[in-house]
Amino acid sequence: MADDEKAKINRDRVIELVKKGYSDFFLNFIPDLFSKSNQKKFQKEIKNLIVNSKLISSQAIIASMEGMKLRADNTILLRTLKIPLLFILGKDDTRVDYNLALKQATSAKCSLILSLDNVGHMGYIEARDITISTVKSFVDIVYY
């Protein structure tokens, strides 16, 4: 989906912060990618992500924000693609609205949906085993 006006304003705000040299952007951003119920449990992983995020250049952050802000709405592809799609959705995701994502996933011609309770945007960390198992099964079904 394309960003709505509120999301575009938020991305512009991030861009301005980064341009001003705000180096701790990820310090607040990364923990919010996890379900509140998992933030304590995954403190080590959150810390590692924050440390590694410092390797990302300001240019890269700004470019990614601009790219997401300017992207077109391509949800029509979901209804027209004739290939299987896998959706991994965290019910506690603060970045992608669960109900909107579910609506998109169910609009696809052929989709497998993994819906995760008590998981945010980081399903591959918060629900590692089921996520890996699902991805492997999906690949097995689609390519073998």
- List the single range of 19-23, 120-124, 129-133 with lowest mean pLDDT: 19-23
**E-strand stretches of 55-116:** 85-90, 111-116
In eight-state DSSP terms, residue 118 is T
In eight-state DSSP terms, residue 37 is G
Helix (H/G/I), strand (E/B), else coil: 33: helix
Q: Which pLDDT score, from 0 to 100, does residue 23 have? A: 67
- pTM of the complete model: 0.87
Domain count, the chain: 2
Same domain, 66 and 81: no
- Domain coverage including residue 46: 5-70
Quote the CA–CA distance of 99 and 91 in Å, as a whole number.
Answer: 9
Main-chain dihedrals φ then ψ at residue 125, nearest 5 degrees: -105, -50
Same domain, 32 and 57: yes
Q: Which residue has the higher pLDDT, 73 or 28?
A: 73
48 pLDDT exceeds 70?
Answer: yes
